[in-house]
Amino acid sequence: MNYETQILNTKYQQPDVYGALSMPVYYTASFEFPNAKAMSDAFSGRSPAPSYSRIANPTTTHLEDRVRGVTGAQSVTALNTGMAAIAHALINTSEAGLNIVASKHLFGNSVSLMRDTLGALGVETRFVDFTHIEEVGKAIDDKTCALFFEIITNPQLFVADIQSLAELAHSHGIPLMADTTVVPFSVFKAKEQGIDIELVSSTKYIGSGTGLGGLIIDYGTFDWSQSPSSVLHARTKKVGKRLAFTARLKTELLTNLGALMTPQVAYQETLGLDTLNIRFNRQASTTQWLAEQCQSIPQIKRVNYTGLNDNPYHELATKQFGTLHGAVFTISLESKEAAYAFIDKLKVIRRATNLFDRKSLAIHPASTIFVTFTDEQRAAMQVDDTLIRLSIGLEDPEDLLEDIKQAVQ
Ligand SMILES: *Cc1c(COP(=O)(O)O)cnc(C)c1O
């Protein structure tokens, strides 16, 4: 079955008493039991019955089941935000004295999470350029517990060679973790590329801007008995080599950190999954066309999009992601003033942060998302102040082009 058919045919774990075709939303904190034995079975994990919505809720479980079905994962965990998904995955894998080797081109909060939050807990992060595989190799040692990167960086749009990274990680007995938010799993098959743990901000394409959510997708491909984490190592003795990560995540971290996705958001994101691939196809096709058109607008000095033939990552991106390269691209204008004037003149494209909303959005990264960084740090991340990031939505492509043309005047 292809994506659309499979996603629309995922069964509920328990049939709804009324046969509701749309997933009911279980607005409840707690679940009632017929007797003491059933209650004890649920609490001890002998039965799958939910006990309390901090640990599991049927609406949230249904979203996880759908994602598991279409990705072929061993298990999926839905959290309150994309950041919660990334934080849980890294906390689950690391401990004081271990290190993470991460890309130096990452979503800003992921950098701060590793450098500041995990750093204070005794976990070191080594930030290196993941498009230079030898730099990644040099940073690894026997205390490295994870490799972490984004499949297309934003706003630079750098692309790392995933299969080479997977080979490197696995030859050292290290799991490969990727934030794949920019290309959804309806088209990008992370498991086939060698990614062990996939992290998604479902706020983006899936929720399409209606709420916040995150997913941890565990493919069950990594043998956690190789991990330098003593906690995970001990888990493998109880649950087996492939299940240790998810077992700890579901029974320890979810319970103790309290960030499971709420049923309300899970319902919205379930609706989002139904149309994910259709929206992605339309948004990515419009983006390809717009990026091509923007190349012949004289006021635009540079168009950066991996779907363009002259892009240095075009070939690698096409091999890894196929012919659709996502719905975000950047343009560079003459100066910061020109970039500000462009943003101010937009009539259809909205002035807002976020990616892959149903509406098209424009932002000036240097003075917003990267405003707390120094000029040198911004230069190192290749975020200069002539750059504008455009996230393309579902509007008519011609109307978007007209808007860009009138705004560059
Ligand atoms: C938005 C985003 C995140 C964080 O997701 P939230 O749902 O906002 O917490 C992480 N990584 C990438 C690549 C993102 O675009």
Positions of CATH 3.40.640.10 in the chain: 3-264
Q: With a 6 A CB cut-off, is 261 part of the ligand 1 pocket?
A: no
Give burial (CB, 10 Å; 0-12/13-18/19+) of 173: middle
For 26-48, the pLDDT digits (tens) are 999 999 999 999 999 999 889 98
- Going from the Cα of 326 to the center of ligand 1, the distance in angstroms, rounded, reads 15
What is residue 197's predicted lDDT score, i.e. its pLDDT?
98
Out of 201, 215, 268, give the residue to mutate to test ligand 1, the one with the largest number of ligand atoms within 8 Å of its CB. Answer: 201
Q: If we measure between CA atoms, which residue out of 252, 259, 206 comes closest to residue 229?
A: 252
What is residue 1's predicted lDDT score, i.e. its pLDDT?
78
**Residue 309 contacts by C-beta under 8 Å, 6 or more apart in sequence?**
none
What is residue 83's predicted lDDT score, i.e. its pLDDT?
98
**Residue 256 contacts by C-beta under 8 Å, 6 or more apart in sequence?**
none
Positions of CATH 3.90.1150.10 in the chain: 277-407
What is residue 373's predicted lDDT score, i.e. its pLDDT?
86
Q: With a 6 A CB cut-off, is 200 part of the ligand 1 pocket?
A: no
- Going from the Cα of 210 to the center of ligand 1, the distance in angstroms, rounded, reads 14
Q: Which two tokens stand for residue 229?
A: 């984490």
Contact between 150 and 158 under an 8 Å Cβ cutoff? The reply is no
**Residue 132 contacts by C-beta under 8 Å, 6 or more apart in sequence?**
none
What is residue 294's predicted lDDT score, i.e. its pLDDT?
98
End-to-end CA distance of the chain: 48
Beta partners for residue 147, in sequence order: 101, 176
Out of 79, 105, 109, give the residue to mutate to test ligand 1, the one with the largest number of ligand atoms within 8 Å of its CB. Answer: 109
| CATH 3.30.450.20 at 3-264, yes or no | no
* Closest ligand 1 atom number to CA of residue 212: 7
What is residue 103's predicted lDDT score, i.e. its pLDDT?
97
Instruction: Name which CATH class applies to 277-407.
Output: alpha beta
Distance CA 313, CA 162 (A): 13
Q: With a 6 A CB cut-off, is 198 part of the ligand 1 pocket?
A: no
Out of 79, 80, 81, 83, give the residue to mutate to test ligand 1, the one with the largest number of ligand atoms within 8 Å of its CB. Answer: 83
> The whole model's pTM is what?
0.96
Task: List C-alpha distances in Å: 120 to 60, 85, 99, 141.
Answer: 32, 19, 13, 21
For 144-159, the pLDDT digits (tens) are 999 999 999 989 999 9
Q: With a 6 A CB cut-off, is 311 part of the ligand 1 pocket?
A: no
Atom 2 in ligand 1: residue holding the nearest Cα: 201
Beta partners for residue 92, in sequence order: none
For 104-141, the pLDDT digits (tens) are 999 989 999 999 999 999 999 999 999 999 999 999 99
Q: With a 6 A CB cut-off, is 357 part of the ligand 1 pocket?
A: no
Distance CA 72, CA 183 (A): 17
Low-confidence ranges of the chain (pLDDT < 70): none
For 284-318, the pLDDT digits (tens) are 999 999 999 999 999 999 999 999 999 999 999 99
Amino acid, single-letter form, for residue 221: T
Atom 5 in ligand 1: residue holding the nearest Cα: 82
Contact between 103 and 129 under an 8 Å Cβ cutoff? The reply is yes
What is residue 94's predicted lDDT score, i.e. its pLDDT?
98
* Closest ligand 1 atom number to CA of residue 182: 13
What is residue 211's predicted lDDT score, i.e. its pLDDT?
85
